[in-house]
Structure 1
Amino acid sequence: MFIDKRFHNYSLRNVPKDLISGLIVGVIAIPLGMAFAIASGVKPEYGIYTTIVAGILISLLGGSKYQIGGPTGAFIPIVFGIVMTYGYQNLLIAGFLAGVILTLMGIFKLGSLIKWIPRPVTIGFTTGIAVTIFAGQIASFLGLVGIKRHEEFILNINEIIVHLDTINIYSLLTAGICLITVILTPKLTPRVPGPLIGIVVSTLAANLFFPGHVATIGTAYGEIPNTLPKLHVPNLNVDIIIKLLKPAFVIAMLGGIESLMTAVVADGMTNSRHNSNKELIGQGIANMVTPLFGGIPATGALARTATNIKNGAVSPLSGIIHGVVVLLVLRFFAPKASYIPLASMAPILMVVAWNMSERKVFAHILKTKSTDSIVLIVTFLLTVFFNLTTAVEVGLVMSAILFVKRMSDVTTTAKALPNLNHKQGKVETSMVTDTHDCPQISIFNVDGPLFFGAAQTFEKTIMSTINYRPKILLLRMSKVPLIDTTGEAILASIVNNFSKSGIVMISGLNEQPESVLKKTGLYDLIGHEHFFEHTGEAIQYGLTQINKNKCLGCKHFAFRECKKLSASGTLEGKAKLTATF
């Protein structure tokens, strides 16, 4: 089993390394879990439950040695939107269904498909999510009162502007202390978790110097329980499944993308290799079980995974320990979390948003001023001003259309002749002119995939240049890596049209196109004898099939044999020439 491979060569000497890394990541995960839950519109303890249950299961059942799972910033706008639209209980069902989808994707080995999503799309929606998270914390940072949260970005910004006159200077001061601490801690003591220190320092400052002047977790959500909730199985029926299938699919896709991206980064940091399909199965099972304990959707967390690796993790045991650490903190210190100011949470999420924004990559893609830049901007804007589902759908469709356009531009079809000045007589497109072309043999270089996006241009190029009906049509296809059914249909049309008065020959046919032509019967229609491995062989065969009377007096001299053919004006010469061929 793959889980055994992840513990390959593991020994007791490695346990302290996993213990230390698990302890550090667990401490970091506590404030993040609560912050992500609050920002998602649910109680802070639900983020802790997710960190514990999903964190342990993802490490135990996943396909990466170093992956740390739990609630992440990327899920904030998705989860918040589902809670606003369907309610918290239905969020749990959507999360469970997402787990089923992820598990099925892993079972049917679809892990590699997620990696095909174009980078401009992933960067676009990731940056869009970061902007949404950052903007969503401004109200808490400033301590604004009377704020109503909306799904729409514009409405949330409008709420902030309308309520700017309610700024709480104490909240602003608390948030500022936390932000400065979070930023400076990694620079002063890199191994100490900045978010935890930021919360502790700002909470102490608020409760010592201006108690009662800022909203806290306790005043907003009540005391956090110190135990996991009892197992609760949601009531599922066909109607609720159909209603929540779309949000569940969004959760599954985003969770799959983020977890596999994080696993790839972990591979790069450790020179290891994860199992993408097993990772999806682990993520799926974790998201099926977590809602049973009231938890929100979870996925691989990039920052926590990187921290896990940097602190010496050796195996998935560190991820399991991280979940156990959070469980112990919940058990013994949960009531203390009620004193944490909400203003202390805001800067933590702002820093998370800043770090996940991919701003450098975003700027780099923009600088290319290519079609990728358009996809990036459109995906980003749709994520911010509409929703992630629309952004990804439009981004993928745009990427597909632009890819087809680029590929069709890459595929070229051009008339060619041998370069007689070249020792090997290399066939080149630049050799064809009005005075240097063979009236009886038309040679075309076909370069690039012959698929639906390029097939029409291929047909138009050939048909427009052979309207004078040469005897031989030779297609050089050594640079055609593949042909689809549309390309095959166009080629069949050309063959049927041309074969009425001439011969179609193909040289250098690759394996995939040959397989397609044989399956459709076009290979037999053209005739096995008309396929050649090398162009030279095809030309020699073609010269035996032409009408040699038309060669008499021709001054094009397209081939080395042409001078002899053109000069053979006597009956004796014709007889000798005929004998030669």
Structure 2
Amino acid sequence: MISLPFRPRSLELLTHYDRKRFRLDLMAGLTVGVVALPLAMAFAMASGVPPQAGLFTAVIAGFLTSLLGGTRVCISGPTGAFIVVLYGIVVKYGVANLLLCTFMAGAMLVLMGVLRLGQVIRFFPMPLITGFTNGIAVLIFLTQLKDFFGLPIVSMPAGFFAVVSVIVHRLGEFDAPTLALSGGSLLLILLWPKALNKHLPSPFVALVLATLAAWLFHLPVQTLGSKFGGIPQGLPEFRMLSLDWRHLSELMAPAFTIALLGAIESLLCAVVADGMTQDRHDANQELIAQGIANMVVPFFGGIPATGAVARTATNIGNGGQTPMAGIVHAMVLLLVLLIAAPLAAYVPLAALAAILVSVAIKMGDWNFARLRQFPLHDSGVLIATFLLTVMFDLTVAVEIGLLASAVFFIQSMARNTSVNALRPEHAALFERHSIAGKTLPMGCAAFRIEGALFFGAADIVDDIVNASPQARVVILQLHRLVMLDATGLLALSQLNRTLAERGKVLILCGAGREVLQLLDQSALEEEMGERNLQPDLAAAIERAEELLISGVVWA
């Protein structure tokens, strides 16, 4: 039975809450709320849903994950990593099925947390994560070119090559006022002084100034009002999800992609926050909280949410101390919905496009010179994942990237696994296990396994059978065996049977605690005989002498 205590960090940290902490959390929460406002709307629009969906998500998910999560200062909400996946779901299955996918992904995240998979998710190789992050950044950049240049395109086609083809052929039809507004907004965001950014975030400044410019100068540009009719004022309306039985099985794959991306990004965000605050997060609790949030938001028209690194860093940089800062950030956005929603109708799409282009530029790791410092196979995984994400599909990219990483890891482990004959000239690193100062009796051969005995390297034990044909007792030393799996156990069992068929005896010695437990659980000890498992080489040699003198073994 799985036992997983439900222990949100908010309960632990708010027990001894004081006025000083609240003041710091209040200022940090206000600042993060201002940062999140334009991002939430921009991410929603880029995902193919109305801008209010992003705000609903930031409010509900931001509140729930701060209240129930396993981190102290992380901020959650819609992020750029989801844009490509969500837009694809909307185009293929519709918004109703996107909401259903979000709920399913939330349930998967809760299950991951209950099954304690929080630490496993963090083992995804960095070249894979960098590859698909860069790929997503390129796709976000491409999807925003239509609004950035004001191109007269009703809807962008699906697929990398089709998008590039349309952009190239229609780029000459750009709208000058739109380009001036988006270009100016982008320059402001990228060149805004870091000293000012702490208290006055550049995306918010760009949004306000671009809106004022469009209104004051009556610029003929598209706005949220002209495209969506603005943002409805008031609380989001609760609606039941519609279950599409025809596409339910097809929705499992995109739902799993959302869950996997959400888990990876949330836990990476938590790791970044730990490094900035010298804290330690609860990965499984964080997954449960993210799952609950993603199960709730679709009932209010929201989209998937996850931990947001930029907003979390802003929270920490502005003095955020506890989950209360994340709750304040959610309340700030809620007040915007209740009071200032009508003003959103004047926000130009060009400003939101500029914000997303800046996000794409900043979220990618464009220092390709570093690839020369990586092992060749890691560089290959990064490049392959990047190209597959951009040109084909994110799910395929992650699957193939993981498979390639696993194959390269197995090959590396197998190359570093060997069986070596023990010789007197070997240095005495450990007296108990060294052959130095010990003499093997006539008719005995001794070997040592180094590395991992697993499915990728289990065949190396076959060489032992023919390595010393005159030996009647074979000692196999295991003290340098770092890993043993089921295939390795079967290989040892087969080695024991093969030697027994030839009238020989196998003695294992020096096994560490974990390997010894596996040998006991596999019943190999019973098969070999308890006395043929010895703690060290000296005891194994004594056992070999006993067998040879007694005549139990024969040539």
TM-score over 0.5 for the alignment? Answer: yes
User: 1:225 & 1:85 partners in 2: Cα distance?
Assistant: 26
- Shift of residue 103, structure 1, vs aligned partner: 1.8
Q: Counterpart of 1:440 in structure 2: which amino acid?
A: G
Which residue of structure 1 aligns with residue 452 of structure 2? Answer: 449
CA deviations over 1:277-299 (Å, ceiling 9, x no partner): 22112111111111111111111
- Compute the displacement of 1:498 (Å): 1.5
Using the alignment, how far apart are the partners of 2:285 and 2:353 within structure 1?
35
Partner of 1:214: 221
In the alignment, the residues of structure 1 paired with residue 427 and residue 547 of structure 2 have an alpha-carbon distance, to the nearest angstrom, of 25
Match of 1:389 in 2: 395
1:53 aligned to 57, 60, 66, which one? Answer: 60
Displacement of 1:28: 0.9
Q: Number of aligned pairs?
A: 541
- Structure 1 counterpart of 2:409: 403
Residues 497, 17 of structure 1: CA spacing in aligned structure 2 closer, same or farther, 3 A cutoff? Answer: same
Listed one character per residue, the Cα deviations across residues 356-397 of structure 1 (whole Å, up to 9, x for unaligned) are 11334x653553133221111111111111111111111111
Flag the 1:248–1:34 CA change in 2: closer, same or farther, 3 A: same
Quote the RMSD (CA, aligned, Å).
2.6
Matches of residues 254-265 of structure 1 in structure 2 within 5 Å?
254-265=261-272
C-alpha distance in 1 between matches for 2:506 and 2:409: 31
The 1:518/1:103 distance shift into structure 2, 3 A limit, reads closer
Q: Which residue of 1 aligns with 2:258?
A: 251
Contact 2:426 2:436 (C-alpha < 8 Å) held by counterparts: no
* 1:121-154 Cα shifts (integer Å, max 9, x gaps): 1111111111111122222222111253133111
The offset of 1:108, in angstroms, is 2.8
Contact 1:446-1:479 at 8 Å conserved across structures: yes
Secondary structure, counterpart of 1:42 in structure 2: coil
Matching of residues 321-336 of structure 1 within 5 Å: 321-336=328-343
C-alpha separation in 2, matches of 1:71 and 1:206: 27
In structure 2, the residue matched to 1:476 is: 477
Against the structure 1 CA distance between its residues 234 and 421, is the aligned structure 2 distance closer, same or farther, given a 3 Å change threshold? Answer: closer
Name the counterpart of 1:523: 525
1:171 aligns with 2:178: yes
Shift of 1:464: 3.2
**1:126 corresponds to which residue?**
133
After superposition, the Cα gap between the structure-2 partners of 1:425 and 1:315, relative to the gap in structure 1 and judged at 3 Å, is closer
Q: Does 1:287 align with 2:294?
A: yes
Partner of 2:148: 141
- Counterparts of 1:424 and 1:94 in 2: how far apart (Å)? 57
Other-structure match for 2:4: none
C-alpha deviation, 1:534, in angstroms: 2.4
Q: Which residue of 2 aligns with 1:511?
A: 513
CA separation in 2, counterparts of 1:52 and 1:148?
A: 29
Q: Deviations over 1:297-318 (max 9, x none)?
A: 1111110011011101111111
- Cα shift at 1:438: 8.4
- 1:183 is the counterpart of 2:190: yes
Q: Call closer, same or farther: CA 1:391–1:426 in 2, change over 3 Å.
A: same
2:461 to 458, 464, 468: 458
1:334: how far off? 1.6
Q: 1:132 and 1:444, CA in 2 relative to 1: closer, same or farther beyond 3 A? A: same
Q: Distance in 2 between matches of 1:492 and 1:32?
A: 59
Q: Secondary structure at the match of 1:513?
A: helix
Deviation per CA, 1:332-376, whole angstroms, max 9, x where unpaired? 22222222221111221111112211334x653553133221111
Where 1:442 maps in the other structure, the secondary structure is: strand
In the alignment, the residues of structure 1 paired with residue 375 and residue 128 of structure 2 have an alpha-carbon distance, to the nearest angstrom, of 15
Give the match's secondary structure for 1:104.
helix
Corresponding residue for residue 570 of structure 1: none
The residue type equivalent to 1:454 in the other structure is: A
Give me the whole-angstrom Cα distance separating, in 2, the residues matched to 1:167 and 1:421. Answer: 75
Structure 1 residue 545: Cα displacement? 4.8
Residues 418 and 425, structure 1, Cα contact 8 Å, conserved in 2? no
CA distance in structure 2 between the partners assigned to 1:366 and 1:121 by the alignment:
16
What 5-or-longer segments of structure 1 have no aligned partner? 549-581
2:144–2:356 Cα contact (<8 Å) kept: yes
Which secondary structure does the structure 2 equivalent of 1:482 belong to? strand
Q: Which secondary structure state, in structure 2, belongs to the residue aligned with residue 444 of structure 1?
A: strand
Q: Distance in 2 between matches of 1:324 and 1:514?
A: 56
1:222 Cα deviation from its structure 2 partner: 1.5
- The one-character-per-residue Cα deviations of 1:4-56 (angstroms, maximum 9, x if unpaired) are 11324321221111111111110111111111111111111111111111111
* Aligned equivalent of 1:193: 201
Deviations 1:156-194 (A, max 9, x none): 111101101201111111112111211232335132110
